[in-house]
Chains A and B, each alone.
Chain A
Amino acid sequence: MVDTTQRQTSLPTGFGGSYDEYSGDTLDLNALLIRAPAATFYMRVGGDGMAETRIEHGDILVVDRSLTPRSDDIVVAVVAGEFVVRRLLITRGVFGLHQGGDEAPYSPAEGEMLEIWGVVTASITQHRRSI
């Protein structure tokens, strides 16, 4: 059950109830970024092709496999046996994988399946790697 009075006074977190329970003294990034631990995996971004979406080379992607992909989601898909990170746009039932810029989107050929591996819920850029 969610205590609505308390919810209204808290800052928007992007996530609901359960997050608040953890926010007493110490903030926990796991509680913020991970909704379904059993279905959440991490990947590393390779390449600058998604820079316009502010997803940089070397970023860590938080990938949630329990979510059903929707149009405009950032997703990890499998294309030709490789993982790619793209923005998914669904136009009139046709799935397209888009990069940030003017590049032509990738769509599977007629009758082919497009495998969406998971939905990217966050990307983490580390500005100073060695802690």
Chain B
Amino acid sequence: MSPAIALVDVNNCFASAERVFQPELAGKPLVVLSSNDGCAIARSAEAKALGIKMAAPYHEFRHFEQSHGLVVRSANFSLYTNLSERIRTILETFAPSIVPYSIDESFLDLTGFEHQGLERYAGRIRRAVLQQTGMPTGIGIGTTKTLAKAAQWGTKQYPATGGVIEIVTDPARRERFLKIMPVAQIWGVGRATSTKLERAGISTAAQLANLDPAVARVQYGVRMGRTVAELRGVSALPWEDDHQVNQQIIASRSLGEKTGDRATLFASIVHHIERAARKLRCQQASAQQLSISIRTNPFSCQDRPCARTLAVMLPQPTANSSQLVTKARQLFDEIYRPGYLYAKTEIILSAIQLDAHRQADLFTGVSDKHQGNKCLMGVLDAINQRYGPGSLTVGSRHQGGNWQPRAEMRSANFTGSWDELPVAKAGQLA
């Protein structure tokens, strides 16, 4: 029995999520902007048709608002996460094993479902997700993760497929498909590598699959060796990495307004640390290295440039916000220089390990205090989840201030706040 791995990918995820609760956006070109309203991070099909590119800066395409009725929305991550979790719950009812890969992609193990008809079964999955959440998906099915991802790419290119491409049961069909797939679109092939491959005369997925994996590994690196094997139907990537954990967590944002004010800057750093530490705690992990940086806008001619970073190794790993904030205070006092207009702050947590794997340090020990803090942090997370991020914070957090990123066009928190529910009209129709 050959393996059957499906990749379920939400089409234009963030743009589709906006439409679920704003039916007036149906059929209109729609772009979701990154935090700070900087650039496009999701586009509806209509916005793509206008030629708006991924990551394009807002000012480059905002003229479409006047000419083509373009609608923009600021990123509303609590909404996207809510819908993503619902989709995951639904997918779990269709496969014995599922591995979420990103907010809008999950791998499903459909091995043994051939008798159902893989394509028909995937069609059922698509319809269930669409009906229950309003989110459209594309599903690619292959014998390896890389082939599943390739097939999923195909569903976006060829709408006639109805959103499902299956290249498991018919090898000839797989062959035909790989022949039309550009090498640059293959999962794990970056821009530099694809240029190199094309120079060597390898421009399609089929040509890459014909390479000897050993040769590929020598010429293009270990990762390429795995990619080639996967394209040939030999699984080379782990289905699920038990110890999978972020290698580092970066929290950074451009400030809403440039500032030289010490308290405002530090407040934004505290905000970053709280977000990053919460992420750590969600993974039941701790970090041992903390780095913070502040910098002026490198592209601005008026501002005197200044960019300073400082990192420190902690005596023991922690996920405790207040311990991290204390450390950050010391670092910040070292790097802060008055007289500059800073545009961005950033913190990085690294040297991350799972708590389950941690061994007590011989000298400092894993103290009871640490356990107590874990408990406190749990309460903090619960309160912020219930009453909104930032309801309760560790000391010295600056209230107000203009460092909060701009998100002027954000839709309501439709799924996360009783005060912001979508309204269903009971009265007369207009």
Contact = CB atoms under 8 A, between A and B. Distances in A.
Contacts of B427: 46-49
B423 A103 contact: no
Contacts of A50: 426
B131 A43 contact: no
A44 B132 contact: no
Contact of A47 (B24, B87, B425): B425
Contacts of B430: 80, 82
A47 to B, nearest CB: 3
A93 interface: no
Interface in A44-91: 44-51, 55, 57, 60-61, 65-66, 76, 78-85
A114 interface: no
Interface stretch (A8-16, A17-25, A31-39): A31-39
Nearest to A43: B424
B23 A84 contact: no
B429 A36 contact: no
A55 B421 contact: no
B415 interface: yes
Interface size class of A (residues with CB under 8 A): 35 or more
Nearest to B131: A65
B133 A38 contact: yes
Contact of B428 (A36, A38, A39, A103): A103
Contacts of A65: 131-134
Contacts, number: 86
A117 B422 CA distance: 12
Contacts of B426: 45-51, 55, 57, 84-85, 99
B127 to A, nearest CB: 11
B94 to A, nearest CB: 12
B86 A39 contact: yes
A48 B425 CA distance: 9
Interface in B397-430: 414-415, 418, 421-430
A84 B425 CA distance: 4
Given A65-B132, A78-B23, A83 B421 contact: no
A105 to B, nearest CB: 11
A55 B426 CA distance: 8
A83 B132 contact: no
Interface string A80-112: 111111000000000000010001001000000
A58 to B, nearest CB: 10
B429 A106 contact: yes
A116 B272 CA distance: 42
| For the complex of A and B, 7 pairs with smallest distance between CB atoms | A47-B427, A81-B24, A39-B132, A49-B426, A50-B426, A38-B89, A85-B424
23 contacts: A37-B86, A38-B87, A38-B89, A39-B133, A41-B414, A42-B421, A43-B422, A44-B421, A44-B423, A45-B424, A48-B426, A48-B427, A49-B427, A55-B426, A60-B418, A65-B131, A65-B134, A66-B131, A76-B424, A80-B430, A82-B24, A85-B424, A103-B428
Given A38-B90, A80-B430, 18 more contacts: A38-B89, A38-B132, A42-B421, A43-B424, A44-B421, A46-B424, A47-B425, A47-B426, A47-B427, A49-B426, A49-B428, A79-B429, A82-B23, A82-B24, A83-B423, A84-B429, A85-B426, A117-B134
Interface of A: 36-39, 41-51, 55, 57, 60-61, 65-66, 76, 78-85, 99, 103, 106, 115, 117
